[in-house]
Structure 1
């Protein structure tokens, strides 16, 4: 949830060319910020997705060895809708990701490999905000969000994970910002209007997951969810539908 009574949201910086989005599961970006990604790729910017898991524990009726490949295909299809053609998976176990050196190293390696100026991740705090009774966040989101914030610095320090340099991944200290989507304390936003229809189609690519999640018609569910989500902070963004981010400068 977003505090709609705070100060106005600033426009996200636009003076960058490469972004790396790091999240825990297939569908995290589609629920979080695909409309912004569509806007950026339209402008000629490069965006790469890195997912810690293949979402193999996400559908109760499907065994992990069936679910993982299915959700990987859905993720690749959904990324293509918003102009992203590079999607990588780190193969941590869905549902039991642990914050620690291994996760930080894997994300730092991805940052060194792709050399982004902007790094994106998802809400890393205990709840989704909104005061008492706010929905509890998942351990996977907490671990990946925190590790991504830390790995943005790790990637630029040759003495942290020196084995990455030995593998040919030279330090990259060019990350200028880490942007956290779905934060309860956003500071910046992107106009969701131009990319909203593609964001809806992108989330609809996760049809197997959505059909397991709700009895509602998938298109009705997705359109309603994303329209409401991008409308919550519109009064802080000049009346425009907004994909919001909490921006940490480096």
Structure 2
């Protein structure tokens, strides 16, 4: 008896490649899927377009940046542009483990609904918390830790500024990953059109990642969210 296969598919992210997979079939076939920012949600490549794994960024390429340095970073429209570092700041992020086993390590203190963390500080490790996620819903979780991270305020040619982590910034002499190269744009006389936000969702979703102890039993929740969206 022929087994019927149903469900939504995700398409290869390489150019106009039309190859598509059911997420579970792709996982079984060894196809790599990486969580990505809206509007891409999932970055996936078929066997034909699978790129070789790039070495991790070394300490030299991740050195501290200086105010006034020209770098490459992602604008709110999900494209990458050259920009200037204008300020160094420190931001506090919370790490929690959600009741479904997934976790997030980049929550803001104000995302905790059942405690005024801005005034009182972080909860104790292991405390039950209520987290308001980016979909507007509240989820149960357990608090794990608080992290203070150096952040860089960068300014683009259109005058807009965003605060980003060091991992999200590339120096001009650095070898860029393929996914970054594919989204590079060069500001020009049309820069105000290039940077237009009219048809772009303003806030990309923060990532929840499956806990390693659940990995054999679950497919990462972000894949399901990608399908449902």
Query: Would the TM-score normalized by the shorter structure come out above 0.5?
Result: no
The structure with more helix, counted as a fraction of residues: 1
Higher relative contact order at CA 8 Å, sep ≥6: structure 1 or structure 2?
1
Structure whose CA Rg is larger: 2
TM-score after normalising by structure 2: 0.25
TM-score after normalising by structure 1: 0.24
